[in-house]
């Protein structure tokens, strides 16, 4: 999670904790537009966020999608994003969080999900691969993210009929 995003979440909790908790499960397209890294704004997608917890906060995992399709708009890099606090990394929380989230995505009827990762993030790549992720491509990020290359992985949730 970017530092600016974490700070924004802390401010939202302080301002109205109940509203913040309600915003974590936004299965309807509701709320303010999303501000991108370049400060442009884009429409919010339906989605939800789950906290990873072992008696204390370990991190979060989020899911977003568009109704009626597995496709995402160009500004949305993947269906799933996750982050584990530094002192809880390498303990399996990201893998467990992803394993537990995938059935929820499947229940929405999505045949697959895509997850993107920085090309040099070997730990996150292993998490995705442990959960069935297959490398699809390296691609340049949209301009609003700056000049970088990410890797796209795909996890099949529903096998195509033969």
Q: What is the token pair recorded at 112?
A: 């697959």
One DSSP character per residue, 26-81 reads E-SS-SSPEEPTTS-EEPPPPEEEEEEESSSEEEEEEEE-BTTBS---TT---SEE
Domains of the chain: 3-156 (3.40.630.30)
Q: Which of 85, 87, 91, 77 is nearest to 6 (CA)?
A: 85
User: Which residues contact residue 137 at a Cβ distance below 8 angstroms, ignoring those fewer than 6 apart?
Assistant: 151, 152
Prediction pTM value: 0.82
Residue with the bigger pLDDT between 91 and 146: it is: 91
Identify whether the C-beta of residue 59 lies closer than 8 Å to the C-beta of residue 100: no
Q: What is the token pair recorded at 82?
A: 């996750």
Question: If pLDDT is split at 50, 70 and 90, which confidence band does 55 have?
Answer: very high
The pLDDT tens digits of the residues spanning 82-137 come to: 999 999 999 999 999 999 999 999 999 999 999 999 989 999 999 999 999 999 99
Phi, psi of 112 (to 5 degrees): -160, 160
């Amino acid at each position: 999670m970017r530092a600016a995003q974490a700070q924004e979440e802390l401010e939202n909790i302080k301002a109205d904790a109940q509203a913040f908790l309600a915003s974590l499960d936004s299965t309807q397209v509701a709320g303010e537009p999303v501000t991108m890294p370049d400060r442009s704004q884009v429409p919010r997608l339906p989605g939800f966020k789950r906290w990873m917890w072992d008696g204390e906060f370990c991190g979060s995992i989020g899911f977003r999608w568009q109704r009626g399709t597995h496709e995402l708009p160009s500004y949305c890099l993947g269906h799933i994003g996750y982050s584990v606090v530094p002192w809880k990394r390498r303990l399996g929380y990201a893998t467990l969080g992803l394993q537990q989230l995938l059935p929820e995505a499947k229940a929405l009827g999505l045949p697959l999900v895509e997850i993107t990762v920085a090309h040099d993030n070997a730990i996150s790549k292993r998490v995705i691969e442990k959960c069935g992720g297959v490398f699809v491509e390296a691609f340049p990020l949209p301009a609003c993210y700056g000049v970088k290359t990410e890797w796209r992985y795909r996890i099949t949730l529903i096998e195509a009929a033969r």
